[in-house]
Amino acid sequence: MSTLKPEINSVDHIQGDDAASIAIVEFGDYQCPYCGDAYPIMKEIEETFGHQIRFVFRHFPLANAHEFAFPAAIAAEAAGLQGKFWEMHDALYENQYRLNGELFDELAETIGLDLEQFQQDSAAEEIKRKIEDDFDSGVRSGVNGTPSFYVNGTKFDGGASDLYQMLKESAE
């Protein structure tokens, strides 16, 4: 059984309650259509289970297969430096159907980032390294495709809708 390595920590992007009993980690790629499909389901999971859920997103860009996956991850991290990782994360998935190299600045303006700062941060080495560290963590944790989910540190064998189903059943 594959387990999450390293565990959820302070460099992660975390949504939800620290005290939540269920921690879900997704390894995802912003250009991956299956991750795009999983996005609204994850939102639904967060809404339905509220305080019970803590959600973490780690990058797993398949850069050879998806040319905008890595740049999109950079955009999310650069937005994160201005405290708006999740706003950019949401905007990227909501606009996945028209993902291209020009989209990032547009989204940055839409979510109200300082554009000059955003562009400057997008070129930073440390952001690149953060994404590579996430990828590394995925590889070590046994990620075999995107999206891959971990529930309380253990790899979940299924997609987002299976995850929703499982949570619903265990809540009953």
Partner 1 sequence: MLQKGDTAPDFELNATPDQKIKLKDFKGKNVILAFYPADWSPVCSDQMALYNEMLKYFNKYDAQIFGVSVDSVWCHLAFEENRKLHFPLLADFEPKGAISKAYGVYDDEVGESKRALFVIDKEGKIAWSYLSPVAVNPGADGILDALEELSKK
Q: Residue 150 Cβ, how far from partner 1 at the closest point, in Å?
A: 13
HEC assignment per residue over the chain = CCECCCCCCCCCEEEECCCCCEEEEEEECCCCHHHHHHHHHHHHHHHHHHHHEEEEEEECCCCCCCCCHHHHHHHHHHHHHCCCHHHHHHHHHHCHHHCCCCHHHHHHHHCCCCHHHHHHHHCCHHHHHHHHHHHHHHHHCCCCCCCEEEECCEEECCCHHHHHHHHHHHHC
Among 51, 129, 140, 168, binds partner 1 (CB under 8 A): 140
Q: Is 133 in the site for partner 1 (CB under 8 A)?
A: no
Q: Residue 111 Cβ, how far from partner 1 at the closest point, in Å?
A: 29
Q: Is 139 in the site for partner 1 (CB under 8 A)?
A: yes
Of residues 144 and 154, the one with the C-beta less far from partner 1: 144
Among 30, 57, 118, 135, binds partner 1 (CB under 8 A): 135
Q: Residue 142 Cβ, how far from partner 1 at the closest point, in Å?
A: 4
Binding mask 35-74 toward partner 1 (x if CB under 8 A, else -) reads: ---------------------------xxxx---------
**d(Cα 137, Cα 147) in Å, to the nearest integer?**
14
Q: Is 159 in the site for partner 1 (CB under 8 A)?
A: no
Contact set with partner 1 (CB under 8 A): 2, 62-65, 135, 139-145
